[in-house]
Structure 1
């Protein structure tokens, strides 16, 4: 039963737990109260605590994490792209890796057939398709000094070191990589990387000019 319910590495850990040699009767307890009994109030507090921890993101510094979130909402792109970047930085997008952890999927492989686990960092930065996108001539300067970093760290570094048009292009390109990945599941082929880069840059520039004037 354990092998059917849990992932292989989880099942091995569970089965390695030593059992008591005494005939002790099993009882059900709730670990989040002093009386070991389930209470709706205690469950609510547990969920609040977990959400608070996850909202800190991958940074152990809470104030630094909050600074990143505020910076994202200040970027000069449309709100749907800001929301996407915020979700990507918090690792709450429905990647295969996240869906597998929730027991919704059991296949973590990237659709680009490069043997990578489809995590946020992989699909947006290092899979076969996204790697070609970021290595395009007009994006190399934006992505300089961003190798071997997680997506949230790349976003943070770019927001601190680049100008508004460059940040907007990075945000928009990341969103388009994800958007085309979703459409690929339904049979729509991904555009060639140079075309996606050109379209993302045009989209970002048009939004900047329409809402903030020419910032280049």
Structure 2
């Protein structure tokens, strides 16, 4: 555009574009306002570009339907390591036997407690007889419902939809304690 911002810079268009593109560009209306353009990043509430907002947009997390769920997790009154653990268990990135075998690590795939099932996050945290006894002992068996085909994320999300803050915090601590004991 020219310096007066009211018409296209014909010389620049001739240097940079072919006839078809020049005609298309000239069809774009030039705004009448006198203020200069400014940068605005659509994927951040403030309009500022951040690496975090770019990563979220690229990873498809911007329009996250589970944002309320994650906000509940991050605002729990729990140690940071437990909140981080909940995030890792929901993302199914805990170093369970099943996940390690998928990464070509040569280990035994059986649960360390019951020795009968493949050790994955669902089994360690909810399906193993030891874990079920723990959930029953703390009176949370009804809250921690496991439906066939569920993922850890689905169970956890359902717990936080039905639990109050104290129950949510207890759920997180028990999951972390089960994982901690498994690693001991």
Same structural fold, with TM-score higher than 0.5 when normalized by the shorter chain = yes
CA contact (8 A) 2:82 2:176 kept: yes
State the match for 1:88 in structure 2.
Answer: 89
Distance 2:78 2:163 in 1: 15
Equivalent residue for 2:59, pick from 52, 60, 81 = 52
Query: Which consecutive unaligned segments of at least 5 residues does structure 2 have?
Result: 1-54
CA contact (8 A) 1:108 1:117 kept: yes
CA contact (8 A) 1:96 1:105 kept: no
Q: CA deviation at 1:108?
A: 1.2
State the match for 1:69 in structure 2.
Answer: 70
Name the structure with the higher helix share: 1
Q: CA deviation at 1:137?
A: 5.3
Query: Which consecutive unaligned segments of at least 5 residues does structure 1 have?
Result: 1-47, 57-61, 184-216
CA contact (8 A) 1:97 1:118 kept: yes
State the match for 2:79 in structure 1.
Answer: 78
State the match for 1:138 in structure 2.
Answer: 139
CA contact (8 A) 1:114 1:128 kept: no
**Larger Rg computed on CA atoms:** 2
Deviation string for 1:45-104 (max 9, x for gaps)? xxx8xx937xx6xxxxx6224443332112221211100000000011100000000011
Of 134-143 and 157-166, more deviation after overlay is shown by 134-143
State the match for 1:147 in structure 2.
Answer: 146
Cα 1:141–1:127 change in 2 (3 A) is closer
* Paired residues for 1:109-188 under 5 Å: 109-136=110-137, 138-143=139-144, 146-148=145-147, 149-183=150-184
Per the normalisation by structure 1, the TM-score is 0.53
Q: 3-state DSSP class of the match of 1:83?
A: helix
State the match for 2:109 in structure 1.
Answer: 108
CA contact (8 A) 2:132 2:141 kept: no
Distance 2:69 2:83 in 1: 12
